[in-house]
Structure 1
Amino acid sequence: MEEAIFRFEELLDENAPYFPTIDSVILEEKKTGKWSKKEILGHLVDSAIHNLVRFTEINYVEKPYRHRPYNQIDLVNLNQYQIMDIHDLTELWLSINKQIVRLMKSVDEKALDYKIILSDESVIDLRYLMTDYVDHLEHHIRQLRS
């Protein structure tokens, strides 16, 4: 878990100052059927919100925890990330993720083994879900930097 947390903090530290420096034309450019870079960052906000709830709820709800998917496309559209100021969007993304880092640092070993049932009925644990969250974040940050 320590490696994932270290990588997570590096991603936040390196990219929070970078996102607002991307030219607005590049940030807002849309290709058919694809999100703009702003919308990708907005998707990362939605992902952070949902995962913060998951990472928190698993500690006090009935076990095993049932993972609830969310409609990513509708959320990006409803939250209007495309027209949001990049500084505000970056701050929102950073703030929620800093809270996730705090939570990840405080979770105990026993909680990392809590079982999670996915919508396809496969089973993972909290350790996997947290690590996968960092991998997901890293994947989309590569898209934002390309």
Structure 2
Amino acid sequence: MMKETVNRLESLIKKGLEYISQPSEFEWSEKLSPEKWSKKEILGHLIDSGINNLQRFTEIQTENKPYRIRPYKQNELVEVNDYQHADLKEMANFWLAINNRICYIINRQTEETLNYKIELDSGERSDLRFLIKDYVNHLEHHLNQII
């Protein structure tokens, strides 16, 4: 059902971990401009995205449908979590753990659950399948920024 998406996510996780283990702390912390995120902050944003989406993927199982997607304040979360000064190894381990959990949850979905309806912040409606694919696309976009 979602095998291709899970395979893509697993591939992105592997690619991300290979890169995380190579660059220097300076490269991860460097900011090209004050208003842009460093690579560490982008990784932190991916952690926040993982947390929020894992919650969405699991809550939709028991909530009334359509499940309303609540946006989160991504810039504020990056700042409050102070990813710029966080330990890169800890961040990498957390990012890996949350995405491994997401892979597990995706693998448990059935055709019925993948069709659970969602309502986006814009009022547009879709389903869990879209939300999962959107998460993987988002992850790939930001990993490409880091790498």
Q: Do Structure 1 and Structure 2 share a fold, with TM-score over 0.5? A: yes
Partner of 1:21: 22
Task: Quote the offset at 1:14 in angstroms.
Answer: 2.1
Partner of 1:76: 78
Q: Distance in 2 between matches of 1:125 and 1:48?
A: 18
The answer as to whether partners of 1:20 and 1:86 remain within 8 angstroms in 2 is: no
Superposed, 1:1-146 pairs within 5 Å as 1-30=2-31, 31-145=33-147
Q: What are the Cα deviations for residues 34-59 of structure 1, in whole angstroms up to 9, with x where unaligned?
A: 10000000000000000000000000
Q: Percent identity?
A: 46
What root-mean-square deviation, in Å, do the aligned CA atoms of Structure 1 and Structure 2 show? 0.8
Task: Quote the offset at 1:32 in angstroms.
Answer: 2.7
| Structure 1: gaps spanning 5 or more residues | none
- Which aligned segments of 4 or more residues in structure 1 are displaced greater than 6 angstroms? none
- Give secondary structure in 2 for the equivalent of 1:124: strand
Q: Distance in 2 between matches of 1:79 and 1:17?
A: 24
Query: In structure 2, what residue type is equivalent to 1:7?
Result: R
Report the TM-score when normalising by structure 1.
0.97
Query: In structure 2, what residue type is equivalent to 1:20?
Result: S
Q: Distance in 2 between matches of 1:81 and 1:10?
A: 24
Q: Distance in 2 between matches of 1:50 and 1:70?
A: 8
Q: Distance in 2 between matches of 1:20 and 1:33?
A: 26
Q: Distance in 2 between matches of 1:45 and 1:14?
A: 16
Task: Quote the offset at 1:18 in angstroms.
Answer: 2.1
- Give secondary structure in 2 for the equivalent of 1:18: helix
The answer as to whether partners of 1:117 and 1:123 remain within 8 angstroms in 2 is: yes
- Give secondary structure in 1 for the equivalent of 2:126: strand
